[in-house]
Amino acid sequence: MSELNASNLRKEHGNEGPDLVGVTELTSPYFMVPPSGTTAERPQNPEKGTLRFNTDIGSLEYFKGDTIGWESIDRVDPNLGGLTNSAAGTGTRALWAGGYTPGGPCFNNVDAITLDTLGNTHDFNNLTTGTTGGFTCSDRTRAVYAGGRTGTTPGGPVTDEIQYATFSTQADYQDSTGNITTASAFGCAFSDKTRGIFAGRSVPNYNETMEYVTVQSLGNAIDYGDLHADIGYGYAFASSTRGFHLGGLKTPSPGSNNVIEYWTTQSTGNGTDFGDLHYAKYEGGAGSNATRGIVAAGYGPNYTALIEYVTMATTGNAIDFGSLTNLNGVGKYSAASPTRFVMGGGYVQGGDPFSTVIEYVQIATTGNATDFGDFSSFGRRANSFNNTSNGHGGL
């Protein structure tokens, strides 16, 4: 083994450091400062294992590969006692908010899981009121829940409220300073690191409207563009540059929709045709990492356990990924990390009407889903079909 002791190394000409080839061991009583920059300044096509400090999220991150992208290196949340299962604060956290139970009221409970581990959900905090069918989206630090149906039953009134919570705490959601343009529910949402876009709805009527907010400042929602038709109950996910709307239930010709359309998230306007889903459906689960977007479950007109995916940087029809094993129905909760797509709950055909089961797949592969854990309290139906995590593909 060779040993080199030096306090300062640089090339003969200029200020650049030397090229170190082979295995290099750094030992120092002091520290090493890695390269740093914003999310937008990430290097293009880096080597696997590239390490940097992301100034937007205040965390080290490393590049895991072209089909996975960047993943942050997060600390253990001291508020959760340093746990190492899905209740821990390590890795990508998903928040699943609201919903309702068989014959029961809408509830305000919010459950959390850590997508990088396995296990049951844990109670996180509460929405401002019992709600189902809201638009949910997020950036690295903040989760947003907009609109939704409220009241003591799923047939209650509809709200235009925009509320938010912070992933790193367990404080309840707060009412923001703004609202969506019309009280509505049962659409979907996608987001990048700054914008959240709310798309379509079925209540109070089917609509093609899209609107957006800046997640860190919120305020009233602003017109974004339109879907290709009046659609509710759709699926949505995003890459760091593109946002997608898929499937849904549309009018004036009621029926399942198989159209996939996309937008450049930081622009505004109407969508561009991407391709078609393999199976026309609505009211299931969706999520993405930086490369692939996944759609799973739904109804259209039959219940399906099918999982499909698209490569978001291209265009074309969805490709078969596999199947859910224990879940087959509608109203699922879903979320994604750079490596995993996780979904659970919802209405199940031919069994206990509202499921407690949570399953996952590895996004970079294909195949059937595997058991992740369970909702810790009760089976529930979401009617809120988006990826609310602090590590989804839009970031």
Which pLDDT belongs to residue 81? Answer: 37
Q: In terms of domains, do 50 and 162 share one?
A: no
CB 372, CB 121: distance < 8 Å = no
Look at residue 321 and tell me if it is in a domain. yes
Look at residue 77 and tell me if it is in a domain. no
Look at residue 51 and tell me if it is in a domain. yes
Cα–Cα distance, 266 to 346 (Å, whole number): 32
Cα–Cα distance, 300 to 129 (Å, whole number): 31
Task: Please report, for residues 229, 257, 263, 329, the alpha-carbon distance to residue 251 in angstroms, rounded to integers and kept in the order given.
Answer: 7, 10, 22, 22
Q: In terms of domains, do 48 and 112 share one?
A: no
Q: In terms of domains, do 130 and 200 share one?
A: yes
DSSP string for residues in 221-270: EEEEEEEEEEEES-EEEE-SSEEEEE--EEETTTEE--EEEEEETTS-S-
Cα–Cα distance, 137 to 147 (Å, whole number): 12
Instruction: Look at strands 51-54 and 36-37 and give their pairing.
Output: parallel
Q: In terms of domains, do 198 and 259 share one?
A: yes
- Distance from the first to the final alpha carbon of the chain: 42
Look at residue 78 and tell me if it is in a domain. no
- Answer left, alpha or beta for residue 237, where phi above 0 means left and psi between -120 and 50 means alpha: beta
Look at residue 189 and tell me if it is in a domain. yes
Exposed / middle / buried, residue 201 (Cβ in 10 Å: 0-12, 13-18, 19+): buried
Q: In terms of domains, do 25 and 116 share one?
A: no
Tell me phi and psi for residue 214, to 5 degrees: -90, 120
Task: Please report, for residues 19, 29, 234, 297, the alpha-carbon distance to residue 3 in angstroms, rounded to integers and kept in the order given.
Answer: 16, 16, 60, 58
Q: What is the DSSP letter of 386?
A: S
Q: What is the token pair recorded at 2? A: 């060779």
Look at residue 109 and tell me if it is in a domain. yes
pLDDT digits (tens, 9 = 90+) for 176-216: 989 999 999 999 999 999 999 999 999 999 999 999 999 99
| Cα dihedral 63→67→72→75 (10° resolution) | -120
| Cα dihedral 138→142→148→151 (10° resolution) | 150
Q: In terms of domains, do 4 and 151 share one?
A: no
Q: In terms of domains, do 238 and 98 share one?
A: yes
Number of domains, the chain: 2
Cα–Cα distance, 182 to 204 (Å, whole number): 9
Look at residue 395 and tell me if it is in a domain. no
Q: What is the token pair recorded at 24? A: 């290099």
Q: Per-10-residue mean pLDDT for the chain, 395 residues long?
A: 56 59 67 80 86 77 74 52 46 89 84 91 92 93 94 84 92 95 95 96 94 95 96 95 96 88 97 96 93 93 92 97 84 92 85 83 95 84 73 93
Q: DSSP 3-state assignment of 78?
A: helix
| Cα dihedral 149→113→67→244 (10° resolution) | 0
Q: What is the token pair recorded at 382? A: 């979401």
Instruction: For the chain, give percent helix, strand, coil, nearest 5.
Output: 0, 45, 55
Look at residue 286 and tell me if it is in a domain. yes
Task: Please report, for residues 155, 201, 229, 261, the alpha-carbon distance to residue 246 in angstroms, rounded to integers and kept in the order given.
Answer: 25, 13, 12, 7
The number of beta carbons lying within 10 Å of the beta carbon of residue 67 is 15
CB 296, CB 285: distance < 8 Å = yes
Cα–Cα nearest to 240, from 275, 285, 190, 188: 190
- Give the CATH number for residue 361: 2.120.10.80
Cα–Cα nearest to 160, from 140, 131, 137: 131
Which pLDDT belongs to residue 393? Answer: 94
Cα–Cα nearest to 189, from 297, 327, 108, 287: 287
Q: In terms of domains, do 48 and 109 share one?
A: no
Which pLDDT belongs to residue 74? Answer: 55
Specify the pTM: 0.81
Q: What is the DSSP letter of 159?
A: -
Q: In terms of domains, do 35 and 103 share one?
A: no
Q: What is the token pair recorded at 103? A: 């014959």
Q: In terms of domains, do 52 and 136 share one?
A: no
Q: In terms of domains, do 228 and 357 share one?
A: yes
Cα–Cα nearest to 236, from 211, 212, 260: 260
Q: What is the token pair recorded at 345? A: 């709950």
Q: In terms of domains, do 130 and 24 share one?
A: no
Q: Which domain holds residue 230?
A: 93-374
Which pLDDT belongs to residue 183? Answer: 96
Cα–Cα distance, 344 to 340 (Å, whole number): 13
